[in-house]
A and B are shown apart, each in its own frame.
Chain A
Amino acid sequence: MDPLGAVFAVLTLVIFICAGIFALDYMKGKERRKSFGVFFAASMLVEILLCAASNLVTFYLCYELLTLISMPLVIHDRTKEAKMAALKYMFFSLFGAYFALFGIYNLGRFAGSLDFIMGGSVDAATWEQHGTILMITAMSLILGFGVKAGMWPMHSWLTSAHPVAPAPASAVLSACVVNAGVLGIIRSLWYVLGSINLKGSPVQTAFMSLSLVTVLMGSVLAYREPVLKKRLAYSTVSQMSYILFGLSVSFGVYDSDNALSSISYSSDALTGAILHVMAHAFIKAALFLTAGAIIHHTKAVKVEDMRGIGLKMPFVMICYTIVALGLIGIPPTGGFVSKWYLATGALSADIPVFSYLGPVILLISALLTAGYLLKLTIIGFFPGEEYRLSHAGEDIKGYRPGLLMALPIATLTLLSVMTGLYPEPVIELIRQIFI
């Protein structure tokens, strides 16, 4: 396992363990606990295998397996909605995977090997000769793996599938499983195809446009969505495309200071993307677990019905607020650092229009993020005089979540703040990955 895989694998491990501990309490007394546990653990295993894969074929196998193994988590409730969502999940994921598979076939023909080597193994002569087909290959890889990361236009499975799963499953689906798509794009473009050749090509423009459209669309729809878990799913769509945008502007630069052949893949935007993978994973897992805790204790699903929740579950809601500020990108939390790197990286990439458009859209999206996340904090902690009068003397002891619920949420919150306060080791590690 190389350092990049290790970053993703550790992330997976931490989040699955946190969500798993949460699930011990959350799933207590619910049906089909065993099947949930089995598929939950299996998903974790498969995702770690995916991170550990060292060539594209292995990666693809794990990728398909991950789709299949995590499907039962979606269908767990066996309601009609859950079944339809699971079908949609399967359809979109497989569709995307076949797109990616088409790309992989092409790579099999043109690349020297499908092993992961930084900078890729398609030589310059091949690029010269088969440029067009390699561009198509790159685009189909981006579209194919992009499905898993919820990139427009193939994102709508995410907002159907993630909210219907039980909360711990939503957390891992939204925080970890979507990362498989990001890893897929990095692995295939940076490690096999050679991303530098895509620099300035229509593929890059398309990739940037798609990710920015997704960022904006996800945020706007999250802002308009009344159901909390659905809102968080739309938020995932939007936030994952921050990462994809970070990838799309950093296909590497020719290092003019050194010899001719030297290419530098390290860039601020790429650092920001990986940092945002981490920040988003911790934050989104914490948010879904918080939503789970709220739903578990109050049965409310819409944000409007959660008025006064901060008085009933203060600890959970304080954690919620901290991670929400992180996702908006308010310093000093993790989201701010990653956004800083993403935006300054995009600006320094000097791509016409997109260098400026990107940061602007990221900030508009941050504004919308504030709108859709802080709403719950506000009505949670400041329910208004009327609510206080009508709910005076209500017993709120029963809403306190147990240790098994509070601990994972607190851990994830702490981790998300830590990535903001002390990001240097991670940044250093990422610099080493993308030399």
Chain B
Amino acid sequence: MTIAFTLDNFRITYICIATFMWVVSLVLSYEYMRHYERKGRFYIFTLLTYVATVGVFLAADFYTMFIFFEIMSLASYVWVAFDERAASLRAADTYLAIAIIGGLTMLMGLFLLYDAVTDIGMDGSLRFNSLKYLYDSMRLMGDDRGVRQIWAAGLCMLVGFGAKAGAFPLHIWLPKAHPVAPAPASALLSGMLTKTGILGILMLSRYIFLPIFADKSSWSALILITGVLTMATGAVLAIFSVDIKRTLACSSVSQIGFILTGIGVSGLAASDLALSGSLLHMVGHSVFKLILFAAAGVIYMNVHKLDLNSLRGYGRRKPLLKLIFLSGALGIGGIPLFNGYISKTLIHEGITALESYMYYGGAAALSYDIIKYTEWIFLISGGCTVAYMLKLYICIFVEKNKDADIQAVYDEGKPYMNRATATALTVAALIPPALGLTPGYTMRTIVDICADALVINRDAEYMLESFFTSECLKGAIISIAIGIVIYAGIIRNVLMTEEDEYTDKWPGWLDLEDKLYRPVVLYALPFVAAVVCRFLDKLVDITIYFLRKGIFADSGEKEELAEGNRLTYCLGVIAGKLNRIRRRYLKLKGVRVGKPVNFVHKFAMDYESLKESRTVIFRSMSFGLMMFCLGLVLTVAYILITRWW
């Protein structure tokens, strides 16, 4: 296998976005990192991650993509662990574990894919272009084993890419890693690194699993369901969170869910409306998260706190920061005239198109009800987005701090960011309205130039003519209404204490990482495995030990016996034991017994006397004569016997 690159308009677009994001982040980090030690480490690995990320986007095949993906995952570890606080190191461990498990699962997928591809004689190239329609064409050929293998490969790779993208249930690293990483790094983690995961899922969905017949695409159904779960989980987590960066991180999970939902829907439907929406939301989300995390970073570098109660009222007298944050918030909330509205509308239109298609009897891999629920979850999640952005905005820029002294300090009007940072952030903040105001030109161009790389079918409807029709506005208005209801009804009433403070009411037992992944992966599995393996390890040693104690043992005879021989010793011991039993029996019956006899000694003495008398006999004349007589008798008997026969 060799490394292969490709470059098309989609990739150029995304590399431009990546470069822009890195530049803004580096401008911010120049100010943000002023007081940190070990900055060199941060910058080196930021650049390394940049190179690797660009490599991921340039890759022409899955193999190259995997290689750069791994480098990117490991290089970005340094961001998370950077400040070496206990929480950072813990989050970094989670990040690394997810990255490595995801990476290895993806590698398994690559092995399976490579094998399946070589089996059908495609010279083992994993280039995206040569894999187009692979799954469905193998299904048409009736290659059952190949189909199963490709499905397994796709699943493995989905786990790998999904882990990086933050898809449910592997989203756990995002809410942990983002708050502890430096803000510029969080912006990149959330804005770009998750997008590499999305890119991988796009390449899987739009090449290998690109359906010939959309109504049988179980892959798209899987992506859709993953997307819906991710969208809902992220939104709920974000509403509960009281840490600004954690909220943004959970929001990332939710937005990734929107993107996945769009990808899934367009795989099920005949038109690629939703896919255009996903593409635009991907671009948009990169920009929103850059703006929002950078704003959070500006706040953090002044206040050094992240929880909402301390930040309350920080931005009341800071119009520029307020506008910057507002641009990102309105964008991500899908408010009309900002680009988030355009992308969400497209995805929504995709869902409703599929829904009406099925309503009139069209077939799809999922039932009509599920699509119907998807639409509602989509709208509610959109509402949640509005709600938690409202929560952040009102908390930081509208409300006053509970502590009047702190509020006075916040309102002092000291410079809070330098001119370079301000310029970079302003430029970034101009993008959402600029794109949102000219969707027919800018957004359409983006979709047009990226269409080939994502195999968007331009013969069918893939883009709306106008985004400001009542039909389109309806979805946004429903979402915004839901958002306001959630904010007013739940966040203000249920999620705040009597003293009007923000509290985290998320039940602790729902923490997947602490309650499920960590105990299983760190304790239960290693323990069981170690018990089994320790046994296997010691198997031969144990065998040898028992052999040495058993048949290869020393005889146990420590030295020469003091008296007698081995027979008398054994007999003596046995007789002694028997005698002891007899004495105990007699004692029980109340018979008096005298002193015990030492049978070993007794037999030895008997043996000695026997030996003595034997010597006397053997040496005597009479014994000699007796032996002579015996000899004579035997001889005579022999002669007689032979005579008679």
Chain A residues engaging chain B, CB cutoff 8 angstroms = 152-156, 159, 213, 216-217, 220-221, 223-224, 325, 328-332, 336, 340, 343-344, 347-348, 359-360, 363, 366-367, 370, 374, 378, 382-386, 388
Closest chain-A Cβ to B577's Cβ sits at a distance in Å of 40
Chain B residues engaging chain A, CB cutoff 8 angstroms = 1, 66-67, 70-71, 74, 81, 83-86, 89, 92-93, 96, 100-101, 103-105, 107-108, 111-112, 114-115, 118-119, 526, 529-530, 532-534, 536-541
Decide: B536 and A332 in contact? CB cutoff 8 A: no
Decide: B540 and A367 in contact? CB cutoff 8 A: no
Assuming the contacts A331-B66, A347-B115, A367-B100, asked whether A382 and B92 have C-beta atoms less than 8 A apart, the reply is yes
Given contacts A343-B107, A363-B107, 6 further A-B contacts (CB under 8 A): A221-B534, A329-B107, A331-B70, A340-B111, A367-B100, A385-B85
Residues of B near A217 (CB, < 8 A) are 533, 536-537
Assuming the contacts A156-B540, A224-B530, A388-B84, asked whether A344 and B100 have C-beta atoms less than 8 A apart, the reply is no
Q: How far is the CA of A223 from the CA of B523 in the complex (A)?
A: 12
Q: Which of A156, A330, A348, A360 contacts B74 (CB 8 A)?
A: A330
Residues of A near B526 (CB, < 8 A) are 220, 223-224
Decide: B86 and A359 in contact? CB cutoff 8 A: no
Q: How far is the CA of A329 from the CA of B100 in the complex (A)?
A: 11
Residues of B near A152 (CB, < 8 A) are 536
Decide: B112 and A347 in contact? CB cutoff 8 A: yes
Decide: B118 and A348 in contact? CB cutoff 8 A: yes
Decide: A330 and B541 in contact? CB cutoff 8 A: no
Q: Which of A156, A221, A331 contacts B541 (CB 8 A)?
A: A156
Residues of B near A213 (CB, < 8 A) are 536
Decide: A153 and B118 in contact? CB cutoff 8 A: no
Closest chain-B Cβ to A212's Cβ sits at a distance in Å of 12
Q: How far is the CA of A151 from the CA of B71 in the complex (A)?
A: 32
Q: How far is the CA of A154 from the CA of B533 in the complex (A)?
A: 14
Decide: B84 and A384 in contact? CB cutoff 8 A: yes
Q: What are the 6 A-B residue pairs with the smallest beta carbon separation, nearest first?
A: A347-B115, A331-B67, A220-B533, A217-B533, A220-B529, A363-B104
Q: How far is the CA of A374 from the CA of B107 in the complex (A)?
A: 19
Q: How far is the CA of A382 from the CA of B114 in the complex (A)?
A: 38
Assuming the contacts A367-B104, A384-B86, asked whether A156 and B537 have C-beta atoms less than 8 A apart, the reply is yes
Closest chain-A Cβ to B364's Cβ sits at a distance in Å of 32
Decide: B96 and A348 in contact? CB cutoff 8 A: no
Decide: A331 and B71 in contact? CB cutoff 8 A: yes
Residues of A near B541 (CB, < 8 A) are 156
Decide: B84 and A374 in contact? CB cutoff 8 A: no
Residue of B whose beta carbon sits closest to that of A363:
B104
Residue of B whose beta carbon sits closest to that of A223:
B526
Assuming the contacts A156-B537, A332-B67, asked whether A374 and B96 have C-beta atoms less than 8 A apart, the reply is yes
Closest chain-A Cβ to B523's Cβ sits at a distance in Å of 12
Q: How far is the CA of A223 from the CA of B533 in the complex (A)?
A: 11
Residues of A near B93 (CB, < 8 A) are 378
Q: Which of B71, B96, B529, B540 contacts A153 (CB 8 A)?
A: B540
Closest chain-A Cβ to B196's Cβ sits at a distance in Å of 15
Decide: A344 and B530 in contact? CB cutoff 8 A: no
Q: How far is the CA of A227 from the CA of B8 in the complex (A)?
A: 51
Residues of B near A348 (CB, < 8 A) are 115, 118-119
Q: How far is the CA of A325 from the CA of B73 in the complex (A)?
A: 12
Assuming the contacts A221-B534, A325-B74, asked whether A366 and B104 have C-beta atoms less than 8 A apart, the reply is yes
Residue of A whose beta carbon sits closest to that of B118:
A348
Decide: A363 and B108 in contact? CB cutoff 8 A: yes
Decide: A154 and B540 in contact? CB cutoff 8 A: yes
Q: How far is the CA of A366 from the CA of B96 in the complex (A)?
A: 14
Residues of B near A223 (CB, < 8 A) are 526, 530
Q: Which of B105, B111, B536, B539 contacts A347 (CB 8 A)?
A: B111
Decide: B108 and A221 in contact? CB cutoff 8 A: no
Q: How far is the CA of A428 from the CA of B105 in the complex (A)?
A: 29
Decide: A360 and B100 in contact? CB cutoff 8 A: no
Q: How far is the CA of A220 from the CA of B533 in the complex (A)?
A: 7
Closest chain-B Cβ to A315's Cβ sits at a distance in Å of 15
Q: How far is the CA of A336 from the CA of B63 in the complex (A)?
A: 12
Q: How far is the CA of A374 from the CA of B118 in the complex (A)?
A: 34
Assuming the contacts A366-B104, A382-B84, A384-B89, asked whether A156 and B115 have C-beta atoms less than 8 A apart, the reply is no
